[in-house]
Amino acid sequence: MTKNLHLNHLSYSGYCNECNKTHSLPPDKAIPHCVELMKRLQAHCRIDFDISIDNANPKLTTQHLYSVSGGQMFGVLVCEDVNGNQIILKAFSSTHNGVWSVEGWVAHLADETKFMAIVNEGNTEIHPLTSYIQTLTKTSEEWNAKIIERKKISQKILSQLLELYEISNFKNQKRNISNAFNIKKGIPNGTGDCCAPKLLNYAAIHNLKPISIAEFYWGKESLSGLRKEGEFYSSCKDKCEPLLGFMLCGLNK
């Protein structure tokens, strides 16, 4: 199932602008826990495997990971609590089949209720505008103006959503995503939804010291062929790497 061939290429790191250096976490200790997690996913075909099948949520099966929507990233963070006990945290990326929180898995960075309220309110502006745009002659002056207006509303909604992502690090600093992101360019959609930011933020606010992290892909091979089930992957370059410098700060001096 698992081909642990390329593990020495795995990197979970980011450049910290405050320390002027790269902070990183090694994957070695998290790998066996990931392999255990893969076995459980394979055996139970659902992610709420801690509860009995009678109480299982049908939305939490892994079935949809083999449909057109494709697979998902999973991650494990090995931590130590203040007494030196080992604590194993696990996360799935983004939401699982539309479900935000599942017992036994670390929480999403944003609050679901607030997030959905912003999305729904945004839709009440966007949807009528889209309908109206469809009645206009393409490339007419008004059409152009309305397209720009809609783009501005989308950008406003996105920045409101980003405000919901509060990120803590290991120096007791707290930032929203825009301030934690270490490069000055547009923040990609879905930033903060990967496993690494979820896991590290949980550890930071629960006074746990991360020791090791690893992420793997589960489900149908991605269309690009770049992601295969049971394979490990580094944290992503475009969304996570610019956050990890801030997030890992305070761990290794």
Binding site for Zn ion (CB under 5 A): 16, 18-19, 194, 236, 239-240, 249
Cβ nearer to Zn ion, comparing 46 with 242? 242
Min separation Cβ 196 and Zn ion, Å:
6
Cβ nearer to Zn ion, comparing 48 with 167? 167
d(CA 240, CA 24): 12
Widest pairwise Cα distance in the chain: 68
d(CA 63, CA 161): 29
d(CA 229, CA 223): 12
Min separation Cβ 246 and Zn ion, Å:
7
Cβ nearer to Zn ion, comparing 4 with 189? 189
190: left (phi over 0), alpha (psi -120 to 50) or beta: left
Cβ nearer to Zn ion, comparing 47 with 249? 249
Helix (H, G, I), strand (E, B) or coil at 14: strand
Min separation Cβ 67 and Zn ion, Å:
22
Min separation Cβ 25 and Zn ion, Å:
13
Sign of CA dihedral 192, 195, 198, 199: negative
